[in-house]
């Protein structure tokens, strides 16, 4: 059966959820062969096998951590040469997209980024994308070379599908470019204990109406009651009330959770570009004319300082 290369996003051996979603999609196209690189690569094997990887190719070397992107491209290319896959799937993180793009150039293939669905077609995989601030849905395929496709988080269910997951060491010889960009220091992002924004099933966001950094505690309390990630509009980020890493929108992160709760966000096109594909959208805003209300499944016209804490209390009470 045809083999599909799946690039594994993991942190010290802990596989991140978007990779498990990729394995679900990869099984529609063929047999998933996972590629795990860096510290903890071998530790990913059990999880990957449980979710359908027939094989796990691993490599570790100091280059993966000490230099930017290219060593990982060299390794993925080595896996590509070893396997001759019918497609290469990579999670749509910032780094994932760069790795996929450089591989596509090297193997002379087209690339599709940020797919939200994937199916087998007569002429190779067909990718669904959501474009122009989710106003359009397109279906595309690669017309030259082996399809290289990056897939957005929350695009497929995580399903158990036990497979062999045999670990094989991948031989990698690094290119001259591999050591071009040195990582001279790395500061891990402090964990908030909340889910990662782009991967979260529920996102609770605050905007201009939150009116101050200290008031974001109200948004965080609601998020914590729901086990959600916290997002912020550009207005809130530009005002310095919340970190840029949490910005949802055209110049921030694009999210597609099961539930998106917008508080004090008017819904400018730039914000909508980043959240419009959310499955269920809820908003709380004082202004009944705010464009966000055009998108909602349920909206409350009211003061977020009244409505949000009441909602938080109610969620806590119901969850007991």
Partner 1 sequence: MSLRIVVCVKYVPDATGDRHFAEDLTVDRDDVDGLLSELDEYAVEQALQIKEAADGEAEITVLTVGPEDAKDALRKALSMGADKAVHVEDDDLHGTDVMGTSLVLAKAVEKTGYDLVIAGMASTDGTMGVLPAILAERLGVPQVTLLSEVSVADGVVKGRRDGDTASEQLEASLPAVVSVTDQSGEARYPSFKGIMAAKKKPVESLDLDDLDIDAEEVGLEGAWTKVDSAAERPARTAGTIVKDEGEGGKQLAEFLAGQKFI
The minimum distance between CB 37 and partner 1, in angstroms, equals 15
Binds partner 1 by CB under 8 A, chosen from 62, 139, 159, 164: 139
Q: How many CB atoms lie within 10 A of CB 224?
A: 17
205 binds partner 1 (CB under 8 A): no
Angle between helix 304-319 and 216-226 (nearest 10): 20
The minimum distance between CB 178 and partner 1, in angstroms, equals 10
Query: Within positions 37 to 66, which residues make up the interface with partner 1, using CB under 8 A?
Result: none
Query: Within positions 263 to 282, which residues make up the interface with partner 1, using CB under 8 A?
Result: 269-270, 273, 280-282
Category of 20 on φ-ψ map: left (φ > 0), alpha (ψ -120 to 50) or beta: alpha
315 binds partner 1 (CB under 8 A): yes
> Which residues 6+ apart lie within 8 Å of 268 measured at CB?
233, 291
- How far, in Å, are 33, 61, 88, 104 from residue 109 at the CA level? 19, 27, 10, 5
Query: Within positions 172 to 191, which residues make up the interface with partner 1, using CB under 8 A?
Result: 177, 180-189
H or E segment to which residue 232 belongs? strand 229-232
Contact range with partner 1 by CB under 8 A, out of 25-33, 79-87, 133-141, 212-220: 133-141
Taking the C-alpha atoms of residue 193 and residue 9, their distance in angstroms, rounded to an integer, is 19
119 binds partner 1 (CB under 8 A): no
166 binds partner 1 (CB under 8 A): no
Angle of CA points 52, 227, 237, to nearest 5°: 105
110 binds partner 1 (CB under 8 A): yes
- How far, in Å, are 144, 150, 290, 308 from residue 115 at the CA level? 18, 6, 30, 33
Are residues 296 and 279 in contact, defined by beta-carbon separation less than 8 angstroms? no
311 binds partner 1 (CB under 8 A): yes
314 binds partner 1 (CB under 8 A): yes
Taking the C-alpha atoms of residue 124 and residue 103, their distance in angstroms, rounded to an integer, is 18
Binds partner 1 by CB under 8 A, chosen from 142, 204, 230, 235: 142
Binds partner 1 by CB under 8 A, chosen from 49, 53, 89, 226: 226
106 binds partner 1 (CB under 8 A): yes
Query: In this complex, which beta carbon is closest to partner 1, that of residue 62 or of residue 145?
Result: 145
User: Could you tell me which of 109, 195, 213 has the C-alpha nearest to residue 153?
Assistant: 195
Locus of tokens 């910032």: 94
Taking the C-alpha atoms of residue 75 and residue 12, their distance in angstroms, rounded to an integer, is 17
240 binds partner 1 (CB under 8 A): no
Query: In this complex, which beta carbon is closest to partner 1, that of residue 49 or of residue 235?
Result: 235
Binds partner 1 by CB under 8 A, chosen from 35, 45, 134, 275: 134
Taking the C-alpha atoms of residue 57 and residue 144, their distance in angstroms, rounded to an integer, is 26
Contact range with partner 1 by CB under 8 A, out of 20-28, 78-86, 161-169, 251-259: 251-259
Q: By rule CB under 8 A, what count of residues binds partner 1?
A: 92
The minimum distance between CB 80 and partner 1, in angstroms, equals 15
The minimum distance between CB 211 and partner 1, in angstroms, equals 17
């Amino acid at each position: 059966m045809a083999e599909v290369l799946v690039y594994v996003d993991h942190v010290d051996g802990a596989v991140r959820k978007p990779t498990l979603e990729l394995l679900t999609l990869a099984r529609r196209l063929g047999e998933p062969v996972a590629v795990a690189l860096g510290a903890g690569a071998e530790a990913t094997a059990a999880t990957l096998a449980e979710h359908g990887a027939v094989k796990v190719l691993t490599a570790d070397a100091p280059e993966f951590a000490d230099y930017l992107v290219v060593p990982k491209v060299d390794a993925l290319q080595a896996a590509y040469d070893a396997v001759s896959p019918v497609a290469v799937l990579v999670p749509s993180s910032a780094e994932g997209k760069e790795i996929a793009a450089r591989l596509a150039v090297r193997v002379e293939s087209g690339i599709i980024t940020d797919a939200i669905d994937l199916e087998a077609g007569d002429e190779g995989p067909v990718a669904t994308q959501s474009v122009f601030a989710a106003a359009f849905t397109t279906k595309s395929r690669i017309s030259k070379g082996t399809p290289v496709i990056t897939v957005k988080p929350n695009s497929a269910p995580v399903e158990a599908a036990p497979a062999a997951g045999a670990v094989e060491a991948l031989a990698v010889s690094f290119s001259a470019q591999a050591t071009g960009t040195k990582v001279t220091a790395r500061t891990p992002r402090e964990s908030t204990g909340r889910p990662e924004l782009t991967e979260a099933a529920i996102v609770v966001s605050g905007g201009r109406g939150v009116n101050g950094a200290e008031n974001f505690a109200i948004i965080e309390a609601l998020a914590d009651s729901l086990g959600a990630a916290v997002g912020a509009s550009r207005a809130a980020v530009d005002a310095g009330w919340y970190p840029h890493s949490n910005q949802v929108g055209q110049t921030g992160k694009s999210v597609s959770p099961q539930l998106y709760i917008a508080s004090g966000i008017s819904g400018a096109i730039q914000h909508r570009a980043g959240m419009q594909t959310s499955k269920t959208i809820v908003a709380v805003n004082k202004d009944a004319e705010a464009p966000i209300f055009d998108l909602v499944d349920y909206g409350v016209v009211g003061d977020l300082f009244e409505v949000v804490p009441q909602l938080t209390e109610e969620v806590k009470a119901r969850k007991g």
